Structure 1
Amino acid sequence: MSSVVVDALPGKRRRLAAQVGSGLGEAVAAAVVAAVVAGVGLIAFSLVQWPAFNSSNVTRALTTVGQVLATVLLAVSIGLLRTRKWPLVAKLLSWIGISTFVTFTLGMPLAATKLYLYGVSVDQEFRTEFLTRLTDSPALHDMTYADLPSYYPAGWFWVGGRFANLLGMAGWEAFKPYAITSIAVAAVVSLVLWSKLIRADWAVAVTAAVTAVALAYAAPESYSSIIVILLPPALVLSWGALHRPQGEDAGTARGWGAVLGSGLFLGLAATFYTLYFGLATFAVCLMGVVAAVLAVRARAKLPDGERDSAPWRAALPVLMRLIVIGVVAGLIALLVWGPFVLKWLSGTAASSGTALHYLPQGGAELAFPMAEFSLRGALCLIGVLWLVLRTTSSRRAQALAIGVIAAYLWTLLSMVATAAGTTLLSFRLEPILIALLAAAGAFGFVEGARAIYQALNEPGRFRLTAIVVATVGALAFAQHIPEVLAPEITIAYTDTDGNGERADKRAPSAVSHYGAIDAALTAQTGRPRDETVVLTADTSFLSFYPYLGFQAPTSHYANPLADFAGRSAAIESWSKLETPDQLLDALTKTPWRAPDAFLFRRTGDNYTLRLARDVYPNDPNVERYTVTFPKPLFDTPHFTTTDIGPFTLVTVQP
């Protein structure tokens, strides 16, 4: 018997290597195709002088044309896959179709602007700053502060920084093409993963559904939308890794390929987006508990001669698989989290952070998209019905149902956490919930149509009817996506970009003076940008140029090791000093790297900074206040003062 087991091991390893190698190879090929499609499309869009989206319907019309083209490509690929004709052509068409859909849906509405959704406003400001920082250097520096490692996961931004650096683009300018390309790549990789788990034609349909809802409700936060798109098939993969009914392992790698894949996904999530990593880990652990209970119950029900005296041992293989998944994910996570963890454990920096201090109305309610009277609501409702009907018989339904339950449990835990003065940011989970229900809805529509077809004794024109209904619904939802994203698209046209221009051709904001400020700053300090600390409330300046900042825009974006509150108190104390010598002495004694320059707004005979403080649990959670510096405080040769537009630049001379 032992020799048989030993002889079987190399076969298992070969099967595992074949599974992993095949999946990774196909994913890489699909990613290359998606990158080429997105790149060619975005370059083609940029060669034409399009009107602004917020003042013309031209780009909206062409977006619809591109979506129809993508739908045709996907329909042809599904037809070829169902008839098993030209499988390689079908696969290539599906990759091109999905990436074309992403490229047109996001790229065409933004064709006349260099900025991505939300421009450089709201949260997109610090995201652009982070990409600018990692374009300037591949080191995992904090996006703002000197001498601190990155706290926010740098994975997506690091790759984007290398992308921008390779193409010789500024970080802010690379943001849009990189965001769109990365989402297209995520969509086709998701398709490859689905195709390894279910029928190939179904894989195309469910990927298209998940991608469409992700573009509508997750695209503004581009790096998180990648996790949204990949999570549904990743959960199905994880359930296959943990729940292994007796007899299922014959002729397979015993689910270890799924274990490795699950660890890789969780590791990717950890390097991209902490919140979604937490939710995904919670869902996988919940799967582990359910799988362990099912394994113990199955062992306890065996005949007397086969029953184990300790059926709880059936849970040990599940625990072992969870541990391996965790180890793989942890090793990958350390690639971006390692420097921060080491700094935090060393205790060499003050710790403060309020990233979880945000509770909008969406975080105080349970989301029920399936109750909406809309196409989204209809798809989600079909998904809920399918989950209820198929959970006992479908592995896919079980995995997606556990994911949905995990999202609702996380939301309830977040509400409970408010009693402790914090939250778990559950308001950001709605895109995840919608994506899971959309995947379930796609399965529900396909299986439901087949069941009705059989119940009606297979009428001749029923299949065509189902195809027409699906196509009409898909196109109706797809062409509605730009309307859903209209506010974010409009900001991309009304914000002033790094060239000092607005894409809608109207008068630019004060950002248009940033170029002159940068030139004066580098001339007066004589130091590289990434060695110069600037104190300013106009923090979008750091989004366009990789200067270090003395203070983040709010405590919620600040590195917990930066002592945001202490820095704000220091700034206020400096403004109350009476002489330049006192200010110079205070700058010398600051526990952090002191500012090399101040970028103020002028107000009469004073210079002002508009700062922010955390006022959670209020909503809004940020209170703005103004700190005023009298001009005489800088009346010394140790400071060089330059007025540029509405700004005053003050550089500290050595």
Structure 2
Amino acid sequence: MTQGTAGTRSSVFLRQVGGGLGEGVLGAVVAVGVAAVGLGAFSTVHWAAFDSSNVTRALTTVGQVGALAVLVGAVVLMRVGRWAWGAKVLAWGGISGFVTVTLGMPLAATKLYLLGISVDQEFRTEYLTRFTDSAALHDMTYIDLPPYYPAGWFWLGGRVAKLLGLAGWEAFKPWAIVSLAVASVLAYVLWSKLIRADWAVAVGAATTVVMVAFASPEAYSAVLVIAFAPVMVLAWGALYRPAAGVGGTAGGWAAVLGTGLFIGVCAMFYTLFFGIAVFAVVLMAVAAWGALLWQRRSERLHGHREHAGAQGALELLWPILVRLIVIGAIAGVLTLITWGPYLLKRLGAQTSKSGTALHYLPETGARLSFPMFDLSHPLLAALCLVGTVWLVLRAASSRRAQALSIAVVAIYLWTLASMALTAGGSTLLSFRLEPILQVLLAAAGVFGFAEGARAIYQAMGEPGRFRAVAAAVAVLGAVAFAQGIPSILNAEITTAYTDTDGNGDRADQRAPSAVSYYREIDTALLAQTGRPRDRSVVLTADTSFLAYYPYYGFQAQTPHYANPLADFAGRAAEIKRWSALHTPAELRDALHRSPWRAPDAFLFRRSGDGYTLRLSEDVYPNDPNVRRYTVTFPKTLFDDQYFRTTDIGPFTLVVAKP
């Protein structure tokens, strides 16, 4: 490479990175503004609950149509080549507005996000509450342990909540919606740097619609789902450089940087997606090497030796390997930000041998997913089928098709490996990759529809109204699918109304659950311990209490969300041993001898002559993978001046005196 070429590539690299970052920042600002204004407007009206009225459903459809109309306006401006920046702003506003109205309007009458505080959303809220209380990287439940689950999304949300003066649980919904709006806009910005502007709007909108429908309940992973497809196209551009000498490019190094950053963010946000991203990129590297070898062989067979060159197989591999190493180095630096404390703590420490997050195999994880044949969502199936056909037809000629095809193959290979690993007592949680597969195929479907419509248009002699017909079909299909999203998320939305929030209220105006006593319990704990919340350890089976208030717990909700350094099984055995003791003196002695920080307080449910805890244990490979069991402490164990007992509603709070 000459000095002039190097200088040109450096300037192009800086221009590409600077331009992309600039648009990304501006787009994110617009997305935050749109989401904030939208959520603020929704909160000013006292709406009927989603599960008892169709008002919010109707207004959601109105808002969706409005957002899609804005996107159509952006495409029109791009097609006529006028007001380029105005078109970009419209695209940012339309995409973020769609996310905001589709999620924010159905949830307008509740303070909780999709799934409320139930099941997995409980530990996610607990994590956000932890980082609202402190910016330090702490485990969500266990005191004095670094986090095992990636903290990125939760740390950012916690800091935003702290800045806004909100409790963690109360910030969860707005943070989830705003972060999804921002991620969707950033994904569109990336698409706009990879393909023509009007197509970028179409594919950005389509993938956003699919992401909201199928990935939004798990917001911290959905922000990665929406970016997966364009990043795969970016990664393929970084690794497969058959025309590396072409001028006017950065030689793929901007793509290397972007790919490394995305994989690093995956490691900071969601470990499984980090794994599949690494696997897909490595698979791309192998495919790129194979493609270059095939290209060289083909050129030699056809006598084009001046193009084939004299490079050997290893010489062709080396540039790919260098780029792969750089991607890994960039990702590794980001990975250590959240994983470093855990890895350091783990050195020499004993970790749990069972009850890991990989011990879960629902029915959806025991089969291959084929969205293109899923008739429960016919419009999505049609789009994915078009995408599948396009991937096969264009695999040899389109770099976009090649990138998306390799990513799809990676997901299916991962799924097969996950099912094979069940024989060894574990899985790779492949069922959680289904939203990525749906988004990949939806993106391919947009390209297939656009190219297919163009081919039909040309074959029919370019009739005057054909483009309008194709556009109308696309827009009407988008509206038809989008208005059904509240139905797809019906159970998740309903739970947000039936769960009791941190204020002790149910959004559907029905009688609250025992959670309504949490505020009184918190007041008693603060008064009786005399310590801040984050310096107290509470043993309770009502772990949603820890989601609303930042106390540490002695035991996690389930073994699958427990830090491996915490020894979930050992703690469970210790709790059971405590319950079998006979005198308060024996219990005091056992607490003092505990190998872990003993509970400062116990939060029980009352039952007859005892206090109960409803605990859990790992029973994989059964489905469900968790078995609940009850541990009962005799009331007489706490009949001692060392313990202070307070009955609050159905709970009994026992505080150990220091």
- SS of corresponding position for 1:577: coil
Alpha-carbon separation, structure 2, partners of 1:443 and 1:267: 28
For the 8 Å contact 1:372–1:378, the answer to whether it is kept is: no
For the 8 Å contact 2:351–2:564, the answer to whether it is kept is: no
Instruction: Output the amino acid matched with 2:365.
Output: G
Instruction: Output the amino acid matched with 1:103.
Output: T
Following TM superposition, by how much is the alpha carbon of 1:17 offset from its aligned partner in structure 2, in angstroms? 1.3
User: Are 1:93 and 2:90 counterparts?
Assistant: yes
For the 8 Å contact 2:387–2:448, the answer to whether it is kept is: yes
Alpha-carbon separation, structure 1, partners of 2:246 and 2:204: 27
Following TM superposition, by how much is the alpha carbon of 1:282 offset from its aligned partner in structure 2, in angstroms? 0.6
Could you tell me which residue of structure 2 aligns to residue 607 of structure 1?
A: 611
TM-score of the two chains, using structure 1 as the length reference: 0.98
Alpha-carbon separation, structure 1, partners of 2:65 and 2:619: 48
Alpha-carbon separation, structure 2, partners of 1:144 and 1:476: 43
Following TM superposition, by how much is the alpha carbon of 1:304 offset from its aligned partner in structure 2, in angstroms? 4.5
User: Are 1:9 and 2:13 counterparts?
Assistant: no
- SS of corresponding position for 1:556: helix
User: Are 1:221 and 2:218 counterparts?
Assistant: yes
User: Are 1:323 and 2:325 counterparts?
Assistant: yes
Could you tell me which residue of structure 1 aligns to residue 341 of structure 2?
A: 339
Q: Out of 565, 577, 597, which is 1:561 matched to?
A: 565
Q: Out of 183, 193, 196, which is 2:193 matched to?
A: 196
Following TM superposition, by how much is the alpha carbon of 1:352 offset from its aligned partner in structure 2, in angstroms? 5.4
Alpha-carbon separation, structure 2, partners of 1:558 and 1:405: 32
CA RMSD of aligned residues (A): 1.2
Q: Out of 468, 471, 492, which is 2:472 matched to?
A: 468
Alpha-carbon separation, structure 2, partners of 1:199 and 1:309: 34
For the 8 Å contact 2:359–2:426, the answer to whether it is kept is: yes
User: Are 1:530 and 2:538 counterparts?
Assistant: no
Q: Out of 444, 449, 459, which is 1:445 matched to?
A: 449
Following TM superposition, by how much is the alpha carbon of 1:429 offset from its aligned partner in structure 2, in angstroms? 1.1
Alpha-carbon separation, structure 2, partners of 1:165 and 1:527: 20
Could you tell me which residue of structure 1 aligns to residue 99 of structure 2?
A: 102
Could you tell me which residue of structure 1 aligns to residue 412 of structure 2?
A: 408
Alpha-carbon separation, structure 2, partners of 1:304 and 1:603: 85
Following TM superposition, by how much is the alpha carbon of 1:281 offset from its aligned partner in structure 2, in angstroms? 1.0
Following TM superposition, by how much is the alpha carbon of 1:312 offset from its aligned partner in structure 2, in angstroms? 2.8
User: Are 1:68 and 2:65 counterparts?
Assistant: yes
Q: Deviations over 1:200-241 (max 9, x none)?
A: 000000011100011000000001111110000000000000
For the 8 Å contact 1:534–1:596, the answer to whether it is kept is: yes
Alpha-carbon separation, structure 2, partners of 1:505 and 1:174: 21
User: Are 1:571 and 2:582 counterparts?
Assistant: no
Alpha-carbon separation, structure 2, partners of 1:275 and 1:650: 39
Alpha-carbon separation, structure 2, partners of 1:304 and 1:239: 26
Report the more deviating stretch, 476-485 or 286-295. Answer: 286-295
User: Are 1:167 and 2:169 counterparts?
Assistant: no
Aligned length: 651
Alpha-carbon separation, structure 1, partners of 2:209 and 2:137: 33
Could you tell me which residue of structure 2 aligns to residue 399 of structure 1?
A: 403
Q: 1:270 and 1:496, CA in 2 relative to 1: closer, same or farther beyond 3 A?
A: same
Could you tell me which residue of structure 1 aligns to residue 438 of structure 2?
A: 434
Alpha-carbon separation, structure 1, partners of 2:476 and 2:252: 39
Could you tell me which residue of structure 2 aligns to residue 514 of structure 1?
A: 518
Could you tell me which residue of structure 2 aligns to residue 236 of structure 1?
A: 233
Instruction: Output the amino acid matched with 1:360.
Output: P
Q: Out of 108, 113, 128, which is 1:111 matched to?
A: 108
Instruction: Output the amino acid matched with 2:309.
Output: R
User: Are 1:503 and 2:507 counterparts?
Assistant: yes
* Percentage of matched positions with identical amino acids: 65
User: Are 1:129 and 2:131 counterparts?
Assistant: no
Instruction: Output the amino acid matched with 2:453.
Output: A
Following TM superposition, by how much is the alpha carbon of 1:326 offset from its aligned partner in structure 2, in angstroms? 0.6
Alpha-carbon separation, structure 2, partners of 1:246 and 1:63: 48
Alpha-carbon separation, structure 2, partners of 1:423 and 1:562: 22
Instruction: Output the amino acid matched with 1:506.
Output: R
**1:42-81 equivalences in 2 (<5 Å):** 42-81=39-78
Q: Deviations over 1:492-533 (max 9, x none)?
A: 000000000000000000000000000000100000000000
Q: Deviations over 1:118-171 (max 9, x none)?
A: 000010000000000000001110000011000000000000001000000000
Instruction: Output the amino acid matched with 2:494.
Output: T
Alpha-carbon separation, structure 2, partners of 1:207 and 1:485: 21
For the 8 Å contact 2:617–2:628, the answer to whether it is kept is: yes
Could you tell me which residue of structure 1 aligns to residue 181 of structure 2?
A: 184
Report the more deviating stretch, 241-250 or 390-399. Answer: 241-250
Following TM superposition, by how much is the alpha carbon of 1:605 offset from its aligned partner in structure 2, in angstroms? 1.0
Could you tell me which residue of structure 2 aligns to residue 147 of structure 1?
A: 144
Alpha-carbon separation, structure 2, partners of 1:643 and 1:450: 72
For the 8 Å contact 1:249–1:255, the answer to whether it is kept is: no
- SS of corresponding position for 2:628: strand
TM-score of the two chains, using structure 2 as the length reference: 0.98
Could you tell me which residue of structure 2 aligns to residue 311 of structure 1?
A: 313
Instruction: Output the amino acid matched with 1:518.
Output: D
* Structure 1 gaps, min length 5: none
Alpha-carbon separation, structure 2, partners of 1:548 and 1:53: 34
* Structure 2 gaps, min length 5: none
Q: Deviations over 1:597-631 (max 9, x none)?
A: 00000001100000001000011111100000000
For the 8 Å contact 1:179–1:223, the answer to whether it is kept is: yes
Alpha-carbon separation, structure 2, partners of 1:27 and 1:71: 21
- SS of corresponding position for 2:655: strand
Following TM superposition, by how much is the alpha carbon of 1:249 offset from its aligned partner in structure 2, in angstroms? 3.4
Q: Deviations over 1:241-264 (max 9, x none)?
A: 000013553221100000000001
Following TM superposition, by how much is the alpha carbon of 1:89 offset from its aligned partner in structure 2, in angstroms? 0.6
Alpha-carbon separation, structure 1, partners of 2:431 and 2:311: 47
Instruction: Output the amino acid matched with 2:545.
Output: F
